Amino acid sequence: MPGSTTSRDGQSCSKQEGGEGGWLAAGPGVVVSLVTHHPPRPDPSLPDYLDPCPELGVVIVVVIVVIVVVLLLVEIKAVEVAVVVKVVVVAVIVVVVVVAAVVVVVVVVVVVVVVVVVVVVVVIVVVVVVRVLVAIVVAAAAAVVVVVEVVVVVVVVVVVVVVVVVVVAAVVVKVE
């Protein structure tokens, strides 16, 4: 049937209608959630911390609505114009403070990300340098071991040759 699929065990699954996404009845007592599609960010190339702030838009809209309501409710007279101007100035100051706070938060996040990246790079460089130094020390130790082994072999050969020469000389002297 349309909108149905088959589960792993071969049973038919039907999509329940309603809203984005939905549920699949995958068998007796088994219900699987369908993944809903989330709209993409406005600019997918931006990192998450630079996404536009939807709360800021809500604050701006609320401030504008408050200004409009105040203007509609207040009869504009010579004395009350000053009150309206004060409300508008306060609303503009609030919007500027909120925007400045968002900019400060974004700058702080960017600085923290840069510091973390620098620390990670320094740690990676230190680890690589330590590994190279360890490799050099291990190679030098291996070279020393090889030299010591060669010296030991040469000494053993020389001792064996000397012993053989002494024994042969003793046998030759005894025979004569």
Number of structural domains, the chain? 2
Closest residue by Cα to residue 107 from 160, 54, 69, 50:
50
Instruction: Summarize pLDDT for 37-59 with one digit per residue, the tens.
Output: 444 445 556 555 545 555 666 67
Q: How confident is the model at residue 125 (pLDDT cuts 50, 70, 90)?
A: very high
Flag whether 163 is in a domain: no
Provide the 3-class DSSP secondary structure of residue 113: helix
> Across the chain, what does the average pLDDT equal?
73
Instruction: Summarize pLDDT for 62-111 with one digit per residue, the tens.
Output: 777 777 776 666 655 555 666 767 777 888 888 888 888 888 888 889 99
Q: Are 23 and 34 in contact (CB under 8 A)?
A: yes
Is pLDDT larger for residue 80 or for residue 149? 149
Instruction: Tell me, yes or no, whether 25 and 79 share the same domain.
Output: no
Residues forming a β-bridge with 24: 15, 32
Instruction: Tell me, yes or no, whether 52 and 135 share the same domain.
Output: yes
